[in-house]
């Protein structure tokens, strides 16, 4: 029954291009909102949709528009994510750039939002550590930036390197500033991702960094994935393109987190 319902949900999202959670719950009144959320999570993990704040968009719709596909026409999961909420990510990148200072050791997490920051980085003397293969490629083109990468296994969906080798590498570093990313953010679960190795690496970076800045577009709010990488209070700044939901803003305020 669950497979049939997910197929119906996917058909609706593919036909419309996107659908809200409220709309889907109205179309499936015999199941709970949590069940519909779990269906969307599974469909996203299957690579069929991309969840957004309050709903989901169709991967097929993005494919037909030409976004997220390589020259051979094959689907590229990272590019699909990179082309979602691009305007929001550019706004976040411009805000984050104000924290960048010459001569510092900075960690750049993997992810399309941090990648937006990498694209606008000035060519000044600094050391940047990153587990993002695409971020490293972008930054190494600057003559004055020293780029360091940990070893590990590359995730095709995120172009990130993670695993025990990465964690061991980070544990031996002193990081002045870390720009982090997450796939979900909620009051109860904190910042979350779907990959246990990425969660462990992000958690280690946050523990080793003096200043921790989370870059998060609004589509990630009130989403909760399987693994928590940090509680809300374990970061110093939260940068987003708009005001977060009231419950998240209140929890951040109580934890001493500055929202920008």
CATH class of 2-82: mainly alpha
**Vertex 204: Cα angle to 163 and 242 (nearest 5):** 105
Per-residue pLDDT tens over the stretch 44-83: 777 778 777 678 888 776 555 544 444 443 344 555 555 5
Q: Please give the radius of gyration of the chain, using alpha carbons only, rounded to the nearest integer.
A: 18
CATH 1.10.10.10 range(s) for the chain read 2-82
User: What percent of the chain has a predicted confidence (pLDDT) above 70?
Assistant: 88
Mean pLDDT of 93-119: 93
CB 225 within 8 A of CB 202: no
Structure tokens at 119: 């694209």
Mean pLDDT of 242-254: 94
CATH 3.40.50.10470 range(s) for the chain read 86-259
Residue 205 is predicted with a pLDDT of 98
Length of the chain: 260
Residue 102 is predicted with a pLDDT of 93
Residue 70 is predicted with a pLDDT of 46
CATH class of 86-259: alpha beta
Helix (H, G, I), strand (E, B) or coil at 217: coil
CB 106 within 8 A of CB 175: yes
According to DSSP H, which parts of the chain are helical?
2-16, 21-27, 33-45, 59-64, 77-82, 86-96, 112-119, 133-139, 164-171, 196-208, 246-255
Helix (H, G, I), strand (E, B) or coil at 158: coil
d(CA 137, CA 21) in angstroms, rounded, equals 37
Residue 213 is predicted with a pLDDT of 98
Residue 68 is predicted with a pLDDT of 47
């Amino acid at each position: 029954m669950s497979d049939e319902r997910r197929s119906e949900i996917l058909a609706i999202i593919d036909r419309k291009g996107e659908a809200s959670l409220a709309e889907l719950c109205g179309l499936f009144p015999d199941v709970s909102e949590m069940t519909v959320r779990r269906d969307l999570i599974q469909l996203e993990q299957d690579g069929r949709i991309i969840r957004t704040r309050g709903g989901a968009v169709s991967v097929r719709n993005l494919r037909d528009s030409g976004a997220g596909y390589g020259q051979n026409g094959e689907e590229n999961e990272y590019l699909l994510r990179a082309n979602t909420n691009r305007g929001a990510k550019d706004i976040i990148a411009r805000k984050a750039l104000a924290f960048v200072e010459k001569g510092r050791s900075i960690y750049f997490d993997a992810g399309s939002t941090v990648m937006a920051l990498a694209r606008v980085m000035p060519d000044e003397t600094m050391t940047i550590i990153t587990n993002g293969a695409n971020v490293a490629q972008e930054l190494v083109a600057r003559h004055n930036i020293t780029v360091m990468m940990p070893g590990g296994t590359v995730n095709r969906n995120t172009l990130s390197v993670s695993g025990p080798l990465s964690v061991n590498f980070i544990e031996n570093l002193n990081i002045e500033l870390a720009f982090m990313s997450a796939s979900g953010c909620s009051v109860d679960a904190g910042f979350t991702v779907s990959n246990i190795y990425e969660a462990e690496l992000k958690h280690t970076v946050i523990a080793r960094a003096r200043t921790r800045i989370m870059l998060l577009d609004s589509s990630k709010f009130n989403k909760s994935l399987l693994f928590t990488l940090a509680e809300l209070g374990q970061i110093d700044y939260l940068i987003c393109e708009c005001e977060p939901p009231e419950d998240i803003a209140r929890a951040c305020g109580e934890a001493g987190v500055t929202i920008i």
